[in-house]
Amino acid sequence: DAGITQSPRHKVTETGTPVTLRCHQTENHRYMYWYRQDPGHGLRLIHYSYGVKDTDKGEVSDGYSVSRSKTEDFLLTLESATSSQTSVYFCAISDDSSYNSPLHFGNGTRLTVT
Amino acid sequence: DQQVKQNSPSLSVQEGRISILNCDYTNSMFDYFLWYKKYPAEGPTFLISISSIKDKNEDGRFTVFLNKSAKHLSLHIVPSQPGDSAVYFCAATAMRQNFVFGPGTRLSVLP
């Protein structure tokens, strides 16, 4: 298993509260990603990072922000959670030493916004 | 507008037979394609990939075929085993910043 740890694994929160999900890797990979999985949509990219303090938006970034202050940690923040953000969130990493490198995923965080 | 499509939400196959999962894409800039397997309550696990300069890649029981003119790829699993029962996602990328995933196909391998 790639060394990726997501925390928490489960979270229930109320609408309007801020939430931060954490992804920690031990592989020293430069690229890190946040995806959400919803029925009928597969996995959709929220934000990604190509290095410390270097981040960019994905296709479903509205309502989310990210930070990467260290190579090993990539944080996803929901500034004010909404019910539409109820989902399973996956962090992924990719080795940039090879152009064709797959993503490796963590085990996910199930977030419920009530 | 989905750039990666998996038109079969589910597939059932007898143990020992071949499983064929299909995927279509619309973006001609995609040049790297991947298959992932996902069990409940776990993250997707990388299975096999293929770059656009090839039309076939094999790894044990898994073979991926790429037909660039048809913008179609398929995953063959031979022989299928009960442990292969999972959701399979097809993914594609052009610039490596964004890997685009299909909606998934649930494979059930019946004993």
pLDDT tens for residues A33-79?
999 999 888 899 999 999 999 999 999 999 999 999 999 999 999 99
For residue B55 the two structure tokens come to: 């039309």
- Per-residue pLDDT for A1 more than 70? no
Q: How many percent of chain A have pLDDT more than 70?
A: 98
* CB nearest to B43's CB, from A42, A45, A107: A107
Please list every residue in chain B whose beta carbon sits closer than 8 Å to the beta carbon of residue A31: 96
Q: What local confidence, expressed as pLDDT, does residue B96 receive?
A: 81
Smallest Cα–Cα separation from A7: which of A20, A15, A16, A18?
Answer: A20
What is residue A98's DSSP assignment?
S
Burial of A24 (0-12, 13-18, 19+ CB in 10 A): middle
Query: CB-based contact (8 Å) between B27 and chain A?
Result: no
List the beta bridge partners of residue B92. Answer: B33, B100
Kindly report the number of other CB atoms within 10 A of residue B52's CB atom. 16
Strands A54-57 and A109-113: unpaired
Tally Cβ neighbours within 10 Å of residue B14. 12
More confidently predicted of A39 and A12: A12
Matching residue, tokens 């949509």: A41
pLDDT of residue A2: 65
The DSSP secondary-structure symbol of B83 reads G
Task: Establish whether the linkage from the previous residue to B44 is cis, with ω within 30° of 0.
Answer: no
How many of the other CB atoms lie within 10 Å of CB of B55?
A: 12
**Count of helix runs (H) and strand runs (E) in chain A:** 0, 11
Question: What are the pLDDT digits (tens) for B62-103?
Answer: 999 999 999 999 999 999 999 999 999 999 999 787 899 999
> Which residue of chain A comes nearest to B52, CA vs CA?
A100
Query: So what's the pLDDT on residue B85?
Result: 98
Q: Which of B51, B99, B104 sits opposite A103 (nearest CB)?
A: B99
Does the beta carbon of B45 lie under 8 angstroms from any beta carbon of chain A? yes
Cα separation, A89 vs A87, whole angstroms: 6
B42 CB neighbours in chain A (<8 A) are 107-108
- Mean pLDDT along residues B23-36: 96
Residue B97 has what pLDDT? 77
As a whole-number percent, the residues of chain B with pLDDT over 70 amount to 99
Residue B47 near chain A (CB below 8 Å):
no
Interface membership of A51 toward B (CB under 8 Å): no
Contacts of A109 in chain B (CB under 8 A): none
Mutate to test the interface with B, among A88, A100, A101, A110 (most CBs of B within 10 A): A100
Task: Quote the pLDDT of residue A97.
Answer: 78
pLDDT over 90 at A107, yes or no:
yes
Distance, in Å, from the CA atom of A45 to the CA atom of B97, rounded to the nearest integer, reads: 10
Residue in A closest to B34 by C-alpha = A102
How do strand B45-51 and strand B32-38 relate by DSSP bridges?
antiparallel
CB B23 within 8 A of CB B102: yes
The tokens describing A103, both together, are 């993503």
Give which of A28, A23, A21 is closest to A92, Cα–Cα: A23
Quote the mean pLDDT of chain B: 96
